[in-house]
Amino acid sequence: MSWSVTFHVWWVVAFVLLVLFAAAIGSRTDLAKQYKLKGLGILVDDRGRFSLTHFQIVLWTLVILSSLVGAFVSQNFDAASLRLSSELLGLMGISLGSTVLATGVKSAKDASGAKIARAGMKELPGGQKVMRDGKEDELRPHFAQIWLEEEGGQAEKVVNVSKFQSLIFTLVIVVYYVAAAWKVGGIPDLPQDVVWLIGISHAGYVGGKIPNRP
């Protein structure tokens, strides 16, 4: 079996194992049990919503870490042979930095009592209870929250374009990374323009969270 084929096999094996591990962790959360989310519970944040930030960091972790495991095993566990390009490290840093900033913005809004970043509605005692259109309702986590508006009068009713753009950019660049790694049979070098693209996308996403929605 050639080196590249060995990489492909171990990459797939590592990816499947990591997905199963992430699903097992997600299924153990209280909200996952309450709303029968199963393995998708890992994508729900501390506000009880499906989070684009969680989705992005989990996706990149699964794809990049599994490819590193595939390269490591296929090269006979020779750690010295692994080389991460500055562009790939930059991409990972942007994803982590965006996660920290987005979490900080959401936490600051919750702490200040401003219009609630939890779903843009008045929160009632009881955790997931809110006032929606003058009626008491229950916030249920659902996957569409990844691209829907999350605060203000239009919360859960319209698409948030900055979240949508960031989601599409992430998916496209993940596909690009997978295709490049599969073609070279190892960890690929990414063009610097790709890092700029994902950086601009994440900056727009985090920046879009700062203003309070009426």
Is 202 inside any structural domain?
Answer: yes
**Lowest-pLDDT choice from 15-19, 85-89, 140-144, 150-154:** 150-154
Task: State the angle between helix axes of 161-184 and 3-26 in degrees (0 to 180), rounded to the nearest 10.
Answer: 150
Distance from CA of residue 5 to its chain's centroid?
Answer: 29
The pLDDT value recorded for residue 147 is 94
Residue 159 pLDDT class (50, 70, 90 cuts): very high
Is 91 inside any structural domain?
Answer: yes
How many domains does the structure of the chain reveal? Answer: 1
Task: Copy the structure tokens of residue 115.
Answer: 């219009």
The pLDDT value recorded for residue 122 is 57
Is 191 inside any structural domain?
Answer: yes
State the first-to-last Cα distance of the chain, in angstroms, to the nearest integer.
60
Residue 131 has pLDDT above 80, yes or no: no
pLDDT digits (tens, 9 = 90+) for 170-214: 999 999 999 999 999 889 888 888 778 778 877 777 776 766 665
Residue span of the structural domain in which 57 resides: 3-209
Is 214 inside any structural domain?
Answer: no
Is 33 inside any structural domain?
Answer: yes
pLDDT digits (tens, 9 = 90+) for 140-152: 788 999 999 887 7
Is 35 inside any structural domain?
Answer: yes
In whole angstroms, give the CA distance from residue 61 to residue 71.
Answer: 15
- Convert the chain into a string of H (helix), E (strand) and C (coil): CCHHHHHHHHHHHHHHHHHHHHHHHHCCCHHHHHCCCHHHHHHECCCCCECHHHHHHHHHHHHHHHHHHHHHHHCCCCHHHCCCCHHHHHHHHHHHHHHHHHHHHHHHHHHHCCCCCCCCCEECCCCCEEEECCEEEECCCCHHHHCECCCCCCCCCCECHHHHHHHHHHHHHHHHHHHHHHHHCCCCCCCHHHHHHHHHHHHHHHHHHCCCCC
Is 165 inside any structural domain?
Answer: yes
pLDDT digits (tens, 9 = 90+) for 192-202: 887 787 788 77
The phi, psi pair for 44, rounded to 5°, reads -95, 130
